[in-house]
Structure 1
Amino acid sequence: MAATRTLSKFWMLTNEFTQNPYPVLEHVRRESPVRELAFPDGSRAWVVTRYDDAKAALADPRLSRDIHVHYRLMERRTGCPMAPPPEEANHLANQEPPRHTPLRRAISFAFTPRRAEALRPRVEEIADRLLDDLAGDAPADLITGYADPLPVITIAELMGVPADRWTDFLRWSAALRTYSPTDPSGRLQSTIRELSDYMAELIACKEREPGEDLLSALIHADPERRLTSTEILSTGFALMTGGNDTTASLVGGVLAALLTHPAERQRLLAEPGRWTASMDELIRYVSPISNALQRVTTEPVELGGVTIPADEVVVICVMSTNRDTDQFPDRPDDLDLDRPKPAHLSFGHGIHYCSGAHLAKVITEVSARRLFERFPEARLAVDPARLEYEQNVVVRPLKALPVLMRGPGH
Structure 2
Amino acid sequence: MTDQPKLSKYWMLTDDFTQNPYPVLDRVRAEGPVTKLSIPGGGHAWVVTRYEDAKAALADPRLSRDIHVHYDLVSRQTGVALTPPPEHANHLANLEPPRHTPLRRAISAAFTPRRADALRPRIEEVADELLDKLAGQPRPDLISGYADPLPVIVIATLMGVPGSAWPDFLRWSLALRETDPTDPAAERTVKELSAYMAALIEDKEREPGDDLISALIHAEPDRRLTSVEILSTAFALMTGGNDTTASLIGGTLAALLTHPEERAELLAEPGRWGARMDEMVRFVGPITNTLQRATVEPVEIGGVTIPAGETVIISAISTNRDPAQFTECPHALKLDRPKPAHLSFGHGIHFCSGAHLAKLMTEVAARRLFLRFPDVKLAVDPSRLRYVQSMVVRPLESLPVVW
Which bin holds the TM-score, normalised by the shorter protein? over 0.9
SS in 2 for 1:194: helix
Aligned to 1:165: 165
- Letter matched to residue 309 of structure 1: P
- Letter matched to residue 272 of structure 2: R
Any idea what the Cα deviations from partners look like across 1:266-298, whole Å, max 9, x if unmatched? 111111112111100000000100000000000
Map 1:116-155 → 2, pairs under 5 A: 116-136=116-136, 138-155=138-155
- Letter matched to residue 19 of structure 2: Q
C-alpha contact (below 8 Å) 1:19/1:389 kept by paired residues: yes
SS in 1 for 2:270: coil
Aligned to 2:79: 79
SS in 2 for 1:45: strand
- Letter matched to residue 227 of structure 1: L
Aligned to 2:291: 293
Aligned to 2:44: 44
Deviation of the 1:209 alpha carbon:
0.2
* Counterparts in 2 of 1:68 and 1:288: CA distance versus 1, 3 Å: same
Aligned-partner Cα distance in 2 for 1:66–1:356: 20
SS in 2 for 1:140: coil
Work out which of the residue numbers 371, 376, 391 in structure 1 matches 2:369.
Answer: 371
Deviation of the 1:149 alpha carbon:
0.3
Aligned to 1:242: 240
Aligned to 2:62: 62
Any idea what the Cα deviations from partners look like across 1:30-66, whole Å, max 9, x if unmatched? 0123000001111100000000000000000000000
Aligned-partner Cα distance in 2 for 1:234–1:3: 49
Map 1:92-131 → 2, pairs under 5 A: 92-131=92-131
* Counterparts in 2 of 1:230 and 1:24: CA distance versus 1, 3 Å: same
Aligned-partner Cα distance in 2 for 1:197–1:272: 42
Deviation of the 1:12 alpha carbon:
0.4
Any idea what the Cα deviations from partners look like across 1:241-283, whole Å, max 9, x if unmatched? 1000000000000000000001110111111112111100000
* Counterparts in 2 of 1:182 and 1:2: CA distance versus 1, 3 Å: farther
Aligned to 1:257: 255
- Letter matched to residue 276 of structure 1: G
The size of the alignment, in residue pairs, is 403
Aligned to 2:356: 358
- Letter matched to residue 373 of structure 2: F
Which deviates further from its counterpart, 137-146 or 100-109? 137-146
Structure 2 residue runs of 5 or longer lacking an equivalent are none
Matched, 1:312 2:310: yes
Instruction: State the TM-score, normalizing by the size of structure 1.
Output: 0.97
Aligned to 2:223: 225
Deviation of the 1:136 alpha carbon:
2.8
Deviation of the 1:5 alpha carbon:
2.9
C-alpha contact (below 8 Å) 1:68/1:84 kept by paired residues: yes
C-alpha contact (below 8 Å) 2:33/2:301 kept by paired residues: no
Work out which of the residue numbers 396, 399, 402 in structure 1 matches 2:397.
Answer: 399
Aligned to 2:210: 212
Any idea what the Cα deviations from partners look like across 1:337-378, whole Å, max 9, x if unmatched? 110020000110000000001000110000001100111111
Aligned to 1:13: 13
Aligned-partner Cα distance in 1 for 2:196–2:152: 16
Aligned to 2:384: 386
Deviation of the 1:2 alpha carbon:
7.2
Any idea what the Cα deviations from partners look like across 1:79-126, whole Å, max 9, x if unmatched? 111100000000000000000000000000000000000001100000
* Counterparts in 2 of 1:2 and 1:285: CA distance versus 1, 3 Å: farther
C-alpha contact (below 8 Å) 1:275/1:369 kept by paired residues: no
Aligned to 1:347: 345
Deviation of the 1:181 alpha carbon:
2.5
Aligned to 2:201: 203
Deviation of the 1:182 alpha carbon:
2.6
- Letter matched to residue 270 of structure 1: A
Aligned-partner Cα distance in 1 for 2:5–2:335: 33
- Letter matched to residue 151 of structure 2: P
Aligned-partner Cα distance in 2 for 1:178–1:106: 31
Structure 1's consecutive aligned runs of 4 or more residues displaced over 3 angstroms after TM superposition are none
CA RMSD in angstroms comes to 1.0
Matched, 1:282 2:283: no
What is the percent sequence identity of the aligned residues? 71
- Letter matched to residue 286 of structure 1: V
Aligned to 1:325: 323
Aligned-partner Cα distance in 2 for 1:284–1:3: 31
Instruction: State the TM-score, normalizing by the size of structure 2.
Output: 0.99
Any idea what the Cα deviations from partners look like across 1:161-185, whole Å, max 9, x if unmatched? 00011001011111111111332xx
- Letter matched to residue 36 of structure 2: E
SS in 2 for 1:354: coil
Deviation of the 1:16 alpha carbon:
0.4
- Letter matched to residue 139 of structure 1: R
Deviation of the 1:139 alpha carbon:
0.8
Aligned-partner Cα distance in 2 for 1:398–1:16: 14
Aligned-partner Cα distance in 1 for 2:97–2:382: 45
Aligned-partner Cα distance in 1 for 2:302–2:144: 40
C-alpha contact (below 8 Å) 1:75/1:82 kept by paired residues: yes
C-alpha contact (below 8 Å) 1:3/1:27 kept by paired residues: no
Any idea what the Cα deviations from partners look like across 1:198-240, whole Å, max 9, x if unmatched? 1010000000000000000000000000000000000000001
Aligned-partner Cα distance in 2 for 1:233–1:321: 33
